[in-house]
Structure 1
Amino acid sequence: MGEVQEGGVSVVSSSNREEVADVREGQDVTLKCRFNNLALLETGGEIYWMRQRNGEKDNVAIRETPLDRSYTVDLEASEGRYDLTISHATYERDNGMFECRFKEAGTGSDLHTTTVNLTVLIPPGSPRLTPEVPTATEGLPIDLVCSSRGGSPDPQIIWYRSGTDQKLNSVLKPGGGRDFPTTSVLTINPGKDDDEAQYRCVVWNRALTDNEKMEATVSLSVNYYPRITIGPENPLRVELDHPATLTCTADAKPAVSNVRWTRGGRFIGTLNTLMKERVSLDDAGRYVCQADNGLGRLRDAEVTLDVLYGPRVAVPVSRDVDEGEDVVVSCNVTANPTPIKIEWLKEGDDTFHHVGINILRLTRVTATDQGNYICRAVNILNPTGGEPSDRVGNATVAVRVRHQPGTTYITPAKPVAVQGEQAILTCGANPPGWPMPTYRWWRQNSDETITLGANYTIPRASLANEGTYFCQPSNRLGKGTPASVRVQVHQPPRILEDLPKTATYRQGKTDLSLTCRAQGKPQPSIRWLKDGEEINPADGLFNILVEPSSVGQNAAHIVQSTLQFRGVHRISDNQLLPTDRGLYQCLFWNDVREVSSSQLIRVEHSPITVHKSNKVAFDIDEDAQLECRMLAYPEPQFQWSLGPNFIEPDGVHFATNYTALGEDVYASILTVRGVTEADYGSYTCKGINSRGDHKTIITLQEKGRPEHPTGLHIVSQGTNFIKLAWEDGFSGGFADTTFHVETETASGEIMSHDCLTNNPCILRQLPQQTAFKLRVKATNMKGESDFSEPLEGMTLVDTETIPEPEKVYWQRSNNMLSFKVRSTDLMLQGQVEVQPGEGQDWEVIEGPVPISTDTLHHGELDLGDQDPYDVRIRFCSVFVHTSCGKYLVAEKVESLPPVPSQSLSMQYMIVIIVACIVVVAVVALIFVCCCCRRRNNKLKNKTANMEVSHRVVTQQAPPPPYYTVGLDNKGLTGSVDTALDDPSKTPIYTSQQYHGYPHNPHPNSTHANHNGVSYLDNSYSNSNNGGSVNSQDSLWQVKGQGGVDPTHQAPPPTVPHHASPPPGQPYHQYDPMVHGGYGITGYDDYAHYPPTGYQDDYHRNNYTAATDPYAAVHKPRKRTDHLDGDVSGMPDPYLEHYDPTGPEVAPGPDHNKPQISFDESLESGYSTPNSRNRRIIREIIV
Structure 2
Amino acid sequence: MWSETIKAAFLLLAAVTVLVFQGSASAEVAALTLRMSAGPQTDIQPGGRVDISCAFDPPATYIFWRFSSNNGVTWNKLALCHADSGKCSLQEQFKNWTDRLATRVNGSLTLWNASKEQDGVYECEGIRNTDAAKDNRSITIVTPPAQPTVTAADSDTATEGSRLNLTCQSVGGNPPPQISWSVRQRSQTEYSALDSMSPVFSWQPPAQKFGSTVASVSVLTASSANLAGIVCHTAHPLANATSNELLIKVLYAPKLPRVASQRAIAGSSVGINCTADANPVAKLTLLKSNSTLSEASQPTLLHSVPSVTRNLTGAYSCLASNSIGSARRDFSLTVLYPPAVQAPSSVMVREGASLQVGCNVEAEPPPFTVNWRHPGSGRLLGNSSQLLITAAARTDAGEWTCEAQNLMSPSDGREPRNGRGSATVQVTVQYPPGMPVVAFTAGTSVVQSGSRVALVCRPSLLSPGVPEPGFSWTIRTSTSTRVATGPALTIESTGLEDSGEYACVAENSAGRGPAASVSLTVQQPPRWLDDSTATTTTTTTSVGVGSFALVCAVRGRPACEVAWSRNGRELDPGAYSVSREFDPALFVTRSTLRFVGPSRSILQPKDNGAYGCSAQNSHGKITRTFNLVVKFPPLIQTSTTKLALDPAASEISLECEILAQPKPKVTWEVGSNSYVSNVSQDTLTPYKHRATLFGVRSHGRFTCVARNALGEARHSVDVVPRGPPDPPTNLRMLSPPNWDRVSLSWQPGFDGGLQASMWLRCTPPPEGRSADEPIRIEHDSSLRTVAANLTNLLPATNYSVVVFARNQLGSGSNSAELRFTTSELAMPTVTGLRRDGNSATTLLLDAWPAGYCLRVEAAASVKKSQTQQQQQQQKLDASERQWRQVKLQQSACDAPSDGRLTGLDLSTLTYRLSLCLADRLAVCGPAATTENMSGFPEVSSLTIIIVAAFCTLLIICLVAILVFFCCRNRPLASKEAASSGDAATSAARASELDSPPARRDSRLRRHPEPDLMASTYKSFSSGKPYAMVSPHPSLTSTDETSIDQTNKVFSTLLSANHPIVGNNNLESGSDNSGTFLHPGRQRKVIYEVVV
TM-score over 0.5 for the pair: no
- TM-score, reference length from structure 2: 0.30
- TM-score, reference length from structure 1: 0.28
